[in-house]
């Protein structure tokens, strides 16, 4: 239990948010309470018992990469959930999905699933950001222009993520060309070579201007440990 005395009431909210953001960014939990009469902020900070889950670490890197690439490309507000979900399977889902395999020092499969609204937010945001007129833009999420835009941006996302992973861990990988498609039914995907090996599955949730989309990951069950 940490105690922070002598805080003015106006400082409490800002300090509270700073502590919470820091602990959540590390995957922990913050329980805070404020006693106004004592000008005392109590913070109970708990970090995860193990920070060695490399798949979750990679998930966080993909969150950062996707947010950075999409904000730069569209100029729109992009947010991701602080929770990484462990899921039993991963799927291509309506309305616009993409998938790409990566391999090298680490191996996995990346899937993205955009709602129709999210796909259009990405497409229109990028085109308008590039200076195109609104009257020249596609109107349906199923159009080739929208689907191709999603595929191109996901290629940038995985490229950015690979760069961040190499900078942090010194590990490299390469990826195939992402394939994007408009679809009306879910399709389960898996890497064939993973059938007889252990792997982990994660779902990352995002919003662009409030419209939802997800990244789903399948990765071999690995742990990244620092070399001596």
Could you tell me what percent of the chain has a pLDDT over 90? 65
Q: Residue 79 forms beta bridges with which residues?
A: 207
Residue 197, exposed/middle/buried by CB under 10 A (0-12, 13-18, 19+)?
A: exposed
Question: Do 99 and 209 lie in a common domain?
Answer: yes
Residue with tokens 């990405």: 122
* Cβ–Cβ < 8 Å for 42, 3: yes
Q: In the prediction, which pLDDT does 100 show? A: 94
Residues 102, 157 contacting (CB under 8 angstroms):
no
Tell me the three state secondary structure of residue 206. strand
User: Considering only 12-26, 128-142, 203-217, which range has the smallest mean pLDDT?
Assistant: 12-26
Q: Are 192 and 117 in the same domain?
A: yes
167 with 195, same domain: the answer is yes
Tell me if 58 sits within 8 A of 165, measured CB to CB.
Answer: yes
CA–CA distance, 217 with 89 (Å, rounded to integer):
9
Does 33 lie in the same domain as 61? no
H helix and E strand count, the chain: 4, 13
pLDDT, one tens digit per residue, over 69-102 is 999 999 999 999 999 999 999 999 999 999 999 9
Domain range for 116 is 54-220
Residue 6: helix, strand or coil by DSSP? Answer: coil
């Amino acid at each position: 239990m940490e105690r922070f005395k002598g805080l003015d009431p106006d400082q409490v909210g800002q300090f509270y948010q700073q502590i919470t953001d820091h602990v959540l960014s590390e995957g922990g939990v913050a329980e805070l309470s404020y006693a106004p009469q004592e000008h005392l902020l109590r913070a109970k900070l708990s970090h995860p018992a193990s920070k060695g889950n490399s798949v979750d670490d990679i998930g966080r890197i993909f969150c950062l990469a996707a947010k950075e690439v999409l904000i730069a490309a569209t100029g729109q507000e992009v947010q991701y959930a602080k929770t990484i979900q462990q899921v039993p399977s991963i799927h291509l889902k309506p309305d616009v999905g993409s998938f790409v395999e990566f391999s090298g020092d680490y191996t996995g499969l990346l899937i993205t699933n955009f709602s129709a609204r999210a796909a259009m937010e990405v497409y229109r945001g990028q085109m308008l950001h590039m200076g195109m007129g609104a009257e020249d833009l596609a109107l349906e999420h199923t159009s080739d222009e929208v689907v191709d835009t999603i595929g191109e941006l996901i290629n940038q996302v995985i490229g950015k993520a690979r760069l961040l992973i190499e900078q942090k861990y010194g590990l490299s990988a390469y990826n195939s060309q992402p394939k994007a498609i408009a679809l009306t039914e879910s399709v389960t995907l898996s890497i064939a070579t993973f059938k007889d090996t252990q792997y982990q599955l994660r779902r990352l949730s995002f919003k662009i201007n409030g419209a939802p989309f997800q990244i789903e990951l399948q990765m071999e069950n690995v742990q990244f440990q620092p070399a001596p």
